A and B are shown apart, each in its own frame.
Chain A
Amino acid sequence: MSPYPPAIEMRGITKTFPGVVALDNVDFMVEKGEIHALLGENGAGKTTLMNILYGFYQRDKGEVKVYGESVNFKNPREAMTRGIFMVSQHFSLIEEFTPWENVAMIYRGSGLTINKREVIVLLTEVMSNYGIFIENLEVPIKKLSVVDKQKLEILKALICGGNILIFDEPTSVLPPQEVDALLNTIKKLNNRGKTIIYVTHKIGEVYRIANKVTVLRAGKNLGTFDITEIKPETLVELILGVDRKFEKTYENFSESNIIVQSGVASLNPEEVVLEISNLSYLDKREGRQLKIDNLVVHKGEVVGIAGLANSGQKTLVECIIGVRKADRGDIKFKNIHINKLPPHERISLGISILPEDRMTEGIYPELSIQVNASAGHHKIHPLKELKNIATSIVKEFNVKAKSLRDPIVVLSGGNIQRLLVGKTLTKKADLYILFHPTRGLDIRSTSSVHEKILSMKREGKSFIIISEDLEELAKLSDRIVVMYEGHINGTVERTEKGYDLYKIGELMTGGKIG
């Protein structure tokens, strides 16, 4: 036992939302200087527990102590004064401002005015102290990569004297090769005496950095374990709850089964669904460029698109849809030249899209779950049927909703993702373009979405899947196209043994494979 009081001690925390008990009498204790992982499926209550600690929600019952002192944070600002900071999935940065300006927002130097030099000196000092570097401090945040944004969030917390840092699913927004760097950064912070709470649903990451792990399931604490004393299998069982259904899905998820199902089907080279040739697009102001010489999607084919964040995947999709007008080139969909058509006409020809950012491009925030689930279906089905369609989507894709009349925003992130995936996959179309189809989903939902995609593929539907999860791409795709700085840097075909992920990684970072 440590002689000091624990950094965080939460006892008997209970929190209910209308109709749902999010947390039921949860105890959670973090010793000073630990990296403590908080593990659980979507909707297990991890984020809710952290939001209570952070003062974002108020608890119904229970007690919170920070360094042995009873506290009652009414808002995150009060938590910050005690040195508790959260690096969340959605960054709290002002997109129009530069990094140093964002720091200046929270750091008041001497005097009334903001001293740019002072802020930059401070920022560089903290950067070199902790070895977290952002190269360009003078461009607006919106032009920075996700990695830099995350670094800046961490730096902000450090500058404000953060001692207890909460990371909420930090790797879910990162490209795979940046995960190592982040985990190293977190370890480095820990070595400097920072207490870390690491919220995640990925067991692998827990083993890579944490000392202790606490497992939540359905709002209950299933125990805290020393990482050296618990086996991964036991953790998986705890997270999911042991039952036979789980064992079945886990088998499906693990390796071979799916690969065999999807193995390069007999593609008919004649039946081209989408053909892009010599497409180019340049927007200097936004710094977006695209140059695609040739990209073909056949009937019944799944084409995976790999690439670092912002490598032109989104620009490509926006050019296919017509949200952006390509400068040059030709796009043929089902043998129709669609270059000149407006977006809605292209989509009516049979394209269904799961947009990249589910909160800003996917949902209609004020509208009901029913409208959100059935929007877009109204192009084909009469209005009277929309309710039935929404009901069946919610059922088939296991969206946990109390009433279809509730606004969509009452749903958790995972449920929103399932709903949007459901909406996209049930639309009648020939080509489905999916951004990160299983982002934020737990093992069970992920494997059922994968199964659905593969069964639709067998029915002759075509897919373009953009994902940051290379294993997911490897499982689903018939071939993987790698994008780098707005062009296709190479195509990797499936071999007997699957994909050469190393090769894909090389291509993603600009390497050329002979």
Chain B
Amino acid sequence: MDDIFRVTFRLMRSINFINKINRHLVRRILLIIGIYIISIITSLVLTSLTLIVIDMKAPLDFFHTLYFAVLSDPIRFSNILTRTIPVWLIALGISCTLRVGFYNIGGDGQFLFGAILALGLVDLFYGLTGGVLPGPIYIIFALIGGILGGVLSIVIPLLLKVWRNSSEVLATILLNNIAFLLVELLVLVLWRDPLVVEPVSFAIPEVARLPLLVPRSSLHFGVIVPVLLTILIYFIFNKSVLGLEFLLTGVNKSAAIYDGVNIKKSMIVAALLSGGLAGLAGAIELLGVSYRLFRGLTVGFGTAGVIVAWLSKSNPLVIPAFALLFSSLFATADALQRTLQLPVGFVYTTFSMMLLVLIFMEKTFERVR
């Protein structure tokens, strides 16, 4: 390991400007990258081992499908990107709450509330205006509805936390169930589209749908939103007082109080950001992909968001990479569902293993150092 550091360092030294970077830092960065690579590889190897139980050739199928579904052509890659958007947005939001030490497990619930409110509001507005306004106005209206839905659904756990210091974990998880049941109610009874056999809601009007970015794929203009928000959140975290106060609040609340940080404000802002982003993700999914509400609108994006945010150490620039990795594996599992009878939830196993290996490696190296 030491040799690798030394060789790499010498290589970097040969480029003149790196001379100034301190050796210790370079070592640390290399160590971190190494840990990540090892944890990804280990989890994939463990996944393959598990697949052998199903079929000797299953691991080969898995990696072949992975390649086929993701990299074989730009259209497929665009489709993967579409699937990345919700996880990416939710993980961005959760990274805010992780920074302040607020554990939002309710990504799925906020996502659904966002979608519900977006659909409800845009339908109402469309009815009121008679559908004569240009599309972007409806879209913006729906997006705001989504943010509002997410924010409203996180307000209850947030207030309980700030006022009564009760566990936000429980409250957000319970709200997930409420959201799922509300969707059931809507698609089965209240908003059911009678023309479709399956229980789905009515669709959003054509004009309010997000136009496609890449023709013949499913990638829509909504992908711009997470890109912009990633940059925004990067600046909040690294260049703003708010970001510093998030960090101080998250690491040591007592010390933060003595340093004059308004820890309640930090928690409230971070939680609202998180809820808002998850709700926004719901609205974008509705406007760009599903156009309707139905039971399987979220396949655990909230859970995935939590794992992705943890894996990325709440670093907004790393989040897209892990979100993409997640959606690639998810698409692969989805394709294999038919051929191998592999349940889609299998992806969560892989991802959880990745996280476990990462945590294990970090703790080990911490001790060694």
Partner of A342, one of B244, B252, B264, B369: B264
Partner of A371, one of B247, B260, B261, B369: B247
A383 at the interface (CB under 8 A from B): yes
Partner of A367, one of B22, B241, B247: B247
- Judge whether B248 and A375 touch: CB under 8 Å: yes
B212 at the interface (CB under 8 A from A): no
Partner of B261, one of A323, A344, A365, A383: A344
- Judge whether B251 and A344 touch: CB under 8 Å: no
Contact A355/B255 with A342-B264, A344-B261, A344-B262 known, Cβ cut-off 8 Å: yes
Is chain B's interface secondary structure helix, strand, loop, or mixed overall? helix
B163 at the interface (CB under 8 A from A): no
B contact residues around A234 at 8 Å (CB): none
Q: Known contacts A323-B257, A342-B264, A378-B241; can you find 17 more A-B pairs with CB under 8 A? A: A343-B260, A344-B261, A347-B258, A360-B254, A361-B252, A363-B252, A364-B248, A364-B255, A365-B252, A371-B244, A375-B244, A375-B248, A378-B244, A379-B259, A383-B241, A403-B22, A406-B24
In angstroms, how far is the closest chain A Cβ from the Cβ of B298?
A: 32
Task: Look across to chain A and name the residue whose beta carbon is closest to the beta carbon of B263.
Answer: A344
- Judge whether B254 and A355 touch: CB under 8 Å: yes
Interface string of B236-268 (1 = CB under 8 A from A): 000111001101100110111111111110000
Q: Determine which residue in B239, B254, B255, B263 has the highest number of CB atoms from chain A within 10 A of its CB, and name it.
A: B255
B contact residues around A366 at 8 Å (CB): 251
- Judge whether B369 and A321 touch: CB under 8 Å: no
A-B contact pairs, 23 of them (CB 8 A): A18-B369, A321-B258, A323-B257, A343-B260, A344-B257, A344-B262, A344-B263, A361-B252, A361-B255, A362-B258, A366-B251, A367-B247, A367-B251, A371-B244, A371-B247, A375-B259, A376-B258, A378-B244, A383-B240, A383-B244, A405-B22, A405-B24, A405-B25
A348 at the interface (CB under 8 A from B): yes
Q: Which 6 A-B pairs have the closest CB atoms?
A: A376-B259, A347-B260, A344-B262, A361-B254, A364-B251, A375-B259
Residues of B within 8 A of A (CB): 22, 24-25, 239-241, 244-245, 247-248, 251-252, 254-264, 369
A353 at the interface (CB under 8 A from B): yes
Task: Look across to chain B and name the residue whose beta carbon is closest to the beta carbon of A375.
Answer: B259
- Judge whether B251 and A342 touch: CB under 8 Å: no
- Judge whether B260 and A348 touch: CB under 8 Å: yes
B contact residues around A321 at 8 Å (CB): 257-258
Partner of A361, one of B25, B258, B260: B258
Task: Look across to chain A and name the residue whose beta carbon is closest to the beta carbon of B261.
Answer: A344
Q: Give the docked Cα–Cα distance between A379 and B244 (Å).
A: 11
Which of under 10, 10 to 19, 20 to 34, or 35 or more describes the interface residues of A?
20 to 34
Q: Give the docked Cα–Cα distance between A361 and B256 (Å).
A: 8
In angstroms, how far is the closest chain A Cβ from the Cβ of B5?
A: 14
In angstroms, how far is the closest chain B Cβ from the Cβ of A394?
A: 16
In angstroms, how far is the closest chain B Cβ from the Cβ of A165?
A: 28
A contact residues around B245 at 8 Å (CB): 378
A contact residues around B254 at 8 Å (CB): 355, 360-361
In angstroms, how far is the closest chain A Cβ from the Cβ of B250?
A: 9
Q: Give the docked Cα–Cα distance between A406 and B240 (Å).
A: 22
B contact residues around A361 at 8 Å (CB): 252, 254-255, 258
Q: Give the docked Cα–Cα distance between A469 and B297 (Å).
A: 65
- Judge whether A364 and B24 touch: CB under 8 Å: no
Residues of A within 8 A of B (CB): 18, 321, 323, 342-344, 347-348, 353, 355, 360-367, 371, 375-376, 378-379, 383, 403, 405-406
In angstroms, how far is the closest chain B Cβ from the Cβ of A372?
A: 9
In angstroms, how far is the closest chain B Cβ from the Cβ of A425?
A: 14
In angstroms, how far is the closest chain A Cβ from the Cβ of B165?
A: 13
Task: Look across to chain B and name the residue whose beta carbon is closest to the beta carbon of A364.
Answer: B251
Q: Give the docked Cα–Cα distance between A347 and B256 (Å).
A: 11
In angstroms, how far is the closest chain B Cβ from the Cβ of A356?
A: 10
Partner of B258, one of A353, A371, A405: A353
Q: Give the docked Cα–Cα distance between A480 and B307 (Å).
A: 55
A contact residues around B260 at 8 Å (CB): 343-344, 347-348, 376, 379
In angstroms, how far is the closest chain A Cβ from the Cβ of B244?
A: 6
- Judge whether B239 and A383 touch: CB under 8 Å: yes
Q: Give the docked Cα–Cα distance between A361 and B251 (Å).
A: 11
Contact A342/B255 with A378-B241, A405-B25 known, Cβ cut-off 8 Å: no
A contact residues around B239 at 8 Å (CB): 383
Task: Look across to chain A and name the residue whose beta carbon is closest to the beta carbon of B28.
Answer: A405
Q: Give the docked Cα–Cα distance between A379 and B239 (Å).
A: 14
A contact residues around B24 at 8 Å (CB): 18, 403, 405-406
A contact residues around B257 at 8 Å (CB): 321, 323, 343-344
In angstroms, how far is the closest chain B Cβ from the Cβ of A13?
A: 21
Q: Give the docked Cα–Cα distance between A381 and B148 (Å).
A: 35
B contact residues around A347 at 8 Å (CB): 258-260
Task: Look across to chain A and name the residue whose beta carbon is closest to the beta carbon of B245.
Answer: A378
In angstroms, how far is the closest chain B Cβ from the Cβ of A244?
A: 35
A contact residues around B252 at 8 Å (CB): 360-361, 363-365
In angstroms, how far is the closest chain A Cβ from the Cβ of B122?
A: 39
A contact residues around B241 at 8 Å (CB): 378, 383
Q: Give the docked Cα–Cα distance between A367 and B245 (Å).
A: 13
Q: Give the docked Cα–Cα distance between A360 and B255 (Å).
A: 8
In angstroms, how far is the closest chain A Cβ from the Cβ of B109?
A: 30
Task: Look across to chain A and name the residue whose beta carbon is closest to the beta carbon of B243.
Answer: A383
- Judge whether B258 and A355 touch: CB under 8 Å: yes
B contact residues around A344 at 8 Å (CB): 257, 260-263
In angstroms, how far is the closest chain A Cβ from the Cβ of B54?
A: 41
In angstroms, how far is the closest chain A Cβ from the Cβ of B101?
A: 12
A contact residues around B25 at 8 Å (CB): 405
Q: Give the docked Cα–Cα distance between A139 and B270 (Å).
A: 39
B contact residues around A355 at 8 Å (CB): 254-255, 258
In angstroms, how far is the closest chain A Cβ from the Cβ of B253?
A: 9
In angstroms, how far is the closest chain A Cβ from the Cβ of B271?
A: 18
In angstroms, how far is the closest chain B Cβ from the Cβ of A367?
A: 6
Task: Look across to chain A and name the residue whose beta carbon is closest to the beta carbon of B24.
Answer: A403
Q: Give the docked Cα–Cα distance between A1 and B251 (Å).
A: 55
Q: Give the docked Cα–Cα distance between A58 and B255 (Å).
A: 32
Partner of B255, one of A363, A383, A403: A363
In angstroms, how far is the closest chain A Cβ from the Cβ of B369?
A: 7
In angstroms, how far is the closest chain A Cβ from the Cβ of B303?
A: 25
A contact residues around B369 at 8 Å (CB): 18
In angstroms, how far is the closest chain A Cβ from the Cβ of B192?
A: 48
B contact residues around A18 at 8 Å (CB): 24, 369
Q: Give the docked Cα–Cα distance between A363 and B254 (Å).
A: 9
Q: Give the docked Cα–Cα distance between A268 and B257 (Å).
A: 32
- Judge whether B255 and A375 touch: CB under 8 Å: yes
B contact residues around A367 at 8 Å (CB): 247-248, 251
Q: Give the docked Cα–Cα distance between A321 and B251 (Å).
A: 20
Q: Give the docked Cα–Cα distance between A268 and B304 (Å).
A: 64
Task: Look across to chain A and name the residue whose beta carbon is closest to the beta carbon of B252.
Answer: A364
In angstroms, how far is the closest chain A Cβ from the Cβ of B242?
A: 10
B contact residues around A348 at 8 Å (CB): 260
In angstroms, how far is the closest chain B Cβ from the Cβ of A381?
A: 10
Task: Look across to chain A and name the residue whose beta carbon is closest to the beta carbon of B254.
Answer: A361
Q: Determine which residue in A321, A353, A365, A376 has the highest number of CB atoms from chain B within 10 A of its CB, and name it.
A: A376
In angstroms, how far is the closest chain B Cβ from the Cβ of A247?
A: 37
Task: Look across to chain B and name the residue whose beta carbon is closest to the beta carbon of A318.
Answer: B257
In angstroms, how far is the closest chain A Cβ from the Cβ of B176?
A: 30
Task: Look across to chain B and name the residue whose beta carbon is closest to the beta carbon of A372.
Answer: B255
Q: Give the docked Cα–Cα distance between A343 and B258 (Å).
A: 8
B contact residues around A376 at 8 Å (CB): 258-261
Q: Give the docked Cα–Cα distance between A378 and B240 (Å).
A: 10
Q: Give the docked Cα–Cα distance between A18 and B31 (Å).
A: 16
Task: Look across to chain B and name the residue whose beta carbon is closest to the beta carbon of A351.
Answer: B260
Task: Look across to chain A and name the residue whose beta carbon is closest to the beta carbon of B247.
Answer: A367
In angstroms, how far is the closest chain A Cβ from the Cβ of B26?
A: 12
Q: Give the docked Cα–Cα distance between A127 and B244 (Å).
A: 51
